[in-house]
Chain A
Amino acid sequence: MSGPLHKFDRPNSYIGRSVVRPDAKRLVEGQGNYVDDLQLPRMVHAAFVRSPYAHAKIISIDTSNAKSVTGVVAVFVGNDINSQVKPWTATLTHLKGMRSPPQLPLADAVARWQGEPIVMVVAQSRAIAEDACELVEIEFEPLEPVCNTEIAAQRGTPLIHPELDSNVAWEREVVAGDADTAMQGSDITTLERTFHFGRHTGVTLESRSVVTEFNKSDDTLVFHYSGQAPHMMQAVLSKHLQLPEENVRVVARDVGGSFGIKIHTYGDEIATAVAARLLCRPVKFIADRLESFSSDIHAREHRVHGKIAVNKNGEIVALTFDDVTGIGPYSMYPRTSAIECNQILNLTGAPYKIENYYAKGTVVFQNKNMMCQYRAVGHPVAMAVCDSLIEDVAHEINMDVVDIRRRNLIADDAYPVTSATGMKFNELSHHQSLDSLIAMMNYDQLRNDQKSDRAAGIYRGIGLVSMVEVTNPSPMFYGVGGAPIAAQDGASIRLDAAGALHVSCSVTEQGQGTNTILAQIAAEVFGVDIDRVKVTTGDTANVPYGGGTWASRGAGIGGESVLLAAKALKDQVLDVAASILQTSADSLDIDAGTVINIADGAERMDLGELGKIVYYRANELPPDIKPELIATRHYRVTDYPFVFTNSAMAAHVEVDVETGFVKVLDFWVVEDCGRVINPKLVDEQIRGGVVQGIGGALYEECLYDDDGQLLNATMADYLVPMAAEMPDIHILHVETPTTTSNLGAKGAGEAGTGGAPAAILNAVNDALRPLDTAIHQMPMTPERILKALYPDKL
């Protein structure tokens, strides 16, 4: 970076400083406010009877025994709840041809996945509700389940929705240039691979949780939930419970992990709202872990067949692939379940110059739990497919995996660039990031060590990935397609009588430190100490209208709205100060809570004094001064559909070739997320993301049998990464602030999860290469690696 020092780069700026999170102290002392902590008068508890079958007709339901249990308040079957709800349909108009049948909270005639809620029991305690659930008798007629994505679309396969002519939900083709022709030629090397990505899920430590209050007198609903998008949820509840939007308040206090899991419309949560309305008393629903595994959205079940062609210089001349993904029996509302496939079609190969490109995506229905957007939507698949093909083909033509990237990555000075898939990229730093990565990891030394290790029978591998991450989405992501999802966010900041700032913002906090960085921005831009800034998020009654926190948009969009509001408020405050001090506003500034002269830095007036004059002794002000000590600003990205970030990552692993166990020895990340507001918080986003990515690469998978039964729906059986197996993760930054905003911040929440699987996959295959085998299936479990090593025996 050259040019003059930016204001935010000055030594005492709050921007770029690892400020400690003010809310962390509360959380370490057990003073959090999670949904399940809420106790309300007359509150009752919900539990659900869920389908034990992946696909079955519901012949009859007998709830008489359940109703007779002491402490049971109500037992609701499908029509009791569904009749109160306007069905929802999860399609978006910009995903052309997409279809998905209408959905209601409870399965009525047919259950379409194991875990689908059928009967709701409400009782004095969760334990009693569960007792009663055991006494509900349902007669089923099992139907043939459709689970395998490869055959779901084939003719002759049973239809999950007979009203549709096939099990296909959506298809899309992307064509650029002429890949077929480009792949011909004597100096072209082509390479094909088939990749399998297992289903996994978010496993938020706090499960999905809802407490709903309904006040009959004024027809208002309060929905306390553990989620990421209060205003979206308000719109959904309003529309489908048919309440005026202003009568629905959605509150998200502390959220115990989210990762995209808690941004969807779940039948059991809607049923909880309906029950509160029917019973006129608060109803609590806390998903237990079994319910979480079988009903929280899953992600990533993809089969991708990919082909790459390079010339003898290692330049990519064409990339083609087709992706088939299964999304469960319906598309998830309101974001739809086609987005992950769409992201893969858009992002595969995005860091590279590729002119000839062909991609086809097929999204099918199946009788498994629903899939939808989970952290790094589509990225892990897109990056793993492309960068695995690149590393494999590099070896094919005897080229180093770093060299082949350098030949193909888009030049740092080439932007703006539009990719073969139509994505617009700007201000990326692939080469600088890769150079920085290579230096940090001591690449050449590692390669030398690798040779000597191999001679000693130790199989270590090095794998890289260069990636882009979608952040700061514009309305082109969802709003354009008709979803009630705001792409803009708003912030209000007011100066109180004591000179403190109160910020309220429509993005949300799920532990990333959103509230902290909003306070940093407000404190810096306005000019107060950060401990004089209080932040409110997560309450539709108390924050401006906006989208919430997802798709790595909290800092870039919410942060910019705070910046704009702080600037506006500062101007307003200085107008008042100028009037009181009988000077011009442009001769004044605010620093550390005091109005000062710009010229000599002299302190003119404490903000507390200004506040007291305005609020208590306004008689001292000239009558033409009408002070506004509150400012609200909104921000949306206008120049680009998305503001992309980039990063380069590397993994160093050791494969035990006798057991198939993989040990991750080291992991490095160079991230360019634009302006870094709080380095510590950004690094922690990346680290947590990398570990989730390692989980997807090595451990995590929702295992289903052929009948659509989820086999490992417990935390003992679904393997999330734990501390002992994880490496320390080394992080460096390249800072290329985006010029789409004053703040210059892009997102950082998903890079680790999006890139780590590709790096791990490449590292494992690098370790296996001398043994002439490879694996292209995630997670790379010991058994799968052993099967690759000993195909004749296992």
Chain B
Amino acid sequence: MSQKTNIALSVNGEQVQASVPARLNLVDFLRDHLGLTGSHVGCEQGACGACTLSVDGVMVRGCLMLAVQADGANIITVEAFGESVTGEQLQQSFVEHNALQCGFCTPGMLASGIDYIESGGSTDRTHIRKHISGNYCRCTGYQSIVDAIASVVEGRNSLAVETKQTPGAEESGTSNKRAGE
């Protein structure tokens, strides 16, 4: 039988302890052991991007990381993306732009979109398209996803302009920041 390792980590703000076999990957752990089935398994080789989630503020493929490697980590999955301002805005924008059909790619798309927005991405559609080009969507043809991301960036830019014009006002609350920033 496989060797098991005890791990302790934070998942969506909750402390979790578990004993896991070494070969169990992170997304299977989240789905099968914690019941967080929002992250999806599409290819198990890092190509489709459906399992993309945040580990210590960095977006990674959940199928290309072992659960044991998440010991001590802070994991945010799609179930908690809405708790950050960016995540909530992007989820809303996805709904408004119908940036999803079957919804299977959506957790990973959101992860990449959040990453794009929070790393200061512009409304340039070519840039957005490149940034999400590691996430596969078979339904939408991508345009509505680009629209949804661009619209959040646009909203923020206009907010930033307003903020400049209104001394004292500060843009609040961006969690999900990259580690080390």
A interface residues (Cβ-Cβ under 8 A, vs B): 20-21, 24-25, 27-32, 34, 36-37, 39, 70, 127, 202-207, 254-259, 286, 288-289, 510-513, 680-681, 684, 687-692, 714-716, 720-726, 728-729, 752
Contacts and interface: CB of A to CB of B under 8 A. Distances in A.
Given A715-B48, A723-B133, A28 B138 contact: no
A207 B136 CA distance: 13
Interface stretch (B74-82, B159-167, B171-179): B74-82
Interface in B7-29: 23-24
Interface residues of B, number: 58
B45 A722 contact: no
B47 A714 contact: yes
Nearest to B82: A29
Contacts of A286: 41
B117 interface: no
Say what secondary structure dominates the interface of chain A.
loop
B103 A723 contact: no
Nearest to B1: A70
Interface string B138-158: 111111111000000000000
A29 B139 CA distance: 18
Contacts of B140: 684, 687-688, 691
A714 B40 contact: no
Interface stretch (B54-62, B64-72, B124-132): B124-132
B77 A511 contact: no
Interface of B is mostly: loop
Contacts of B143: 687, 726, 728-729
B40 A24 contact: no
Contacts of B104: 32, 34, 204-206, 256-257
B42 interface: yes
Contacts of A37: 31, 37
B44 A289 contact: yes
Given A288-B44, A715-B45, A716-B45, A28 B94 contact: yes
A583 B134 CA distance: 64
B37 A30 contact: yes
Given A289-B42, A715-B47, A722-B133, A29 B141 contact: no
Nearest to A71: B1
Contacts of A725: 133
B160 to A, nearest CB: 25
A513 B44 CA distance: 28
B103 A714 contact: no
Contacts of B42: 205-207, 289, 715
A30 B96 contact: no
Nearest to A687: B141
Given A29-B79, A30-B79, A70-B1, A511 B48 contact: no
A691 B142 contact: yes
Contacts of B40: 34, 205-206, 256
B135 A20 contact: no
Contacts of B44: 288-289
A681 B138 contact: no
Nearest to A126: B28
Contacts of B130: 723-724
B125 A29 contact: no
Nearest to B145: A723
B52 interface: no
